[in-house]
Structure 1
């Protein structure tokens, strides 16, 4: 009996890791914004933002593991409004980032940008948490995984907890890796022109992804 329980926990752990990496690894608008944010601020701010994304993934994994099939009918009617809201927020973030980068460059303040922290770690965490929570596809993704393998995430609190923690840990490790890449990019681009180009490019990518989201 204990062997079966251990196998169930291990299976839930593996399923959670796969689920977390599966939802986190595809590079989208949020990942692009995370890298750009870290590149123009600090690794500390980027790490808090990364944990905001991972927290949202963990919360959605928890909802899916506990509620299962009951989640989809609740989420489906509001998917389109959430998708529009998410896209509009992304467009606003892209426009704001690009405008600030251009304004600083024209104002000859780009050389001091490396030491600036225009957003606090807590605000970065909350901003990325809220932005990721607007994506209903995440909870549908986790619900589909849970329903597709009821034997892995059975209605057992231990297995559910292991699944959720594993999904959170996987997402957090990937998001922190992205933040680390953003920090390295920021160090490489010490000049004002390089930072300007990076910020404007990332804003264009985020804008394009948001428009694609609206078109779905």
Structure 2
């Protein structure tokens, strides 16, 4: 059981720690809104990672084969959504209305949906689970412990990113600071969105 949990923690950090477009969006969102909204968004990302870990345990290899043919359209969809969010971020920051519009609920479901569009996550978890099926995840109970470890690891990392976004937000409290944060983060998100479809 412990080895399954540790394997889940390692897998969760493995998929969460590389800060890509989702991480940049999470930090930027928290900086412009509040820690409460950022934490909700962070838990949305972690939920998606946990769902993908669960899908991998329940049938990762088969699911990865189903997703692989549509991986490119999913990447394009994620890139388009990210680019749209980057543009909306700048527009909202210029209007200075984003602070009022984003709720914890919308942040949670928004980041959950966006993270689900990342086909690499299920392929990553599927390959991991397939590779260690016999030793670490021999049955459903061990599989659920693996999923719990992955979920907790992802949640802790995403909440750390949200916390760092909150610190940035406190430093840049003025409207000009929020606009600069929005412009920089939108630029980073667009670059990462382009890399998503280019790679």
Give the gaps of 5 or more residues in structure 2: none
TM-score, normalised via structure 1 length:
0.89
In structure 2, the partner of 1:19 is: 11
TM-superposed deviation, 1:98 = 1.0
2:53 pairs with one of 61, 64, 84: 61
- 1:153 is aligned to 2:137: yes
Say which is worse superposed, 192-201 or 130-139, in terms of deviation: 192-201
Alpha-carbon distance between aligned partners in 1 of 2:168 and 2:6, rounded to the nearest angstrom: 32
* Cα distance in 2, alignment partners of residues 59 and 84 from structure 1: 21
Do 1:41 and 1:118's aligned partners in 2 also have CA atoms closer than 8 Å?
no
1:172 is matched with 155
What is the deviation of 1:103? 3.5
Query: Whole-Å Cα distance in 2 between the matches of residues 69 and 42 of structure 1?
Result: 39
2:33 maps to: 41
User: Residue 68 of structure 1: CA displacement?
Assistant: 3.0
User: Could you say which residue in structure 2 is the equivalent of 1:207?
Assistant: 190
Decide whether the 8 Å contact of 1:12 with 1:153 is kept in 2.
yes
- Deviation of the 1:101 alpha carbon: 1.5
Q: Which residue of 100, 103, 106 maps to 2:95?
A: 103
After TM superposition, the runs of 4+ consecutive aligned structure 1 residues lying more than 2 A away are none
2:164 is matched with 181
Report the Cα distance in structure 2 between the residues aligned to 1:146 and 1:214, rounded to whole angstroms.
26
Deviation, 1:190, is 1.5
Give the Cα separation in 2 of the matches to 1:182 and 1:138: 24
Query: Is the 1:42–1:117 contact (alpha carbons within 8 Å) kept by the matching residues of 2?
Result: no
Unaligned runs of 5+ in 1: 1-8
Aligned-residue offset at 1:137: 0.3
- Who wins on radius of gyration, i.e. which is larger? 1
- Matched residue, 1:137: 120
Q: How many residues align?
A: 198
CA-CA distance at 1:192 after TM superposition: 1.8
1:37 Cα deviation from its structure 2 partner = 0.3
Mapped contact 2:60–2:123 kept (Cα < 8 A): no
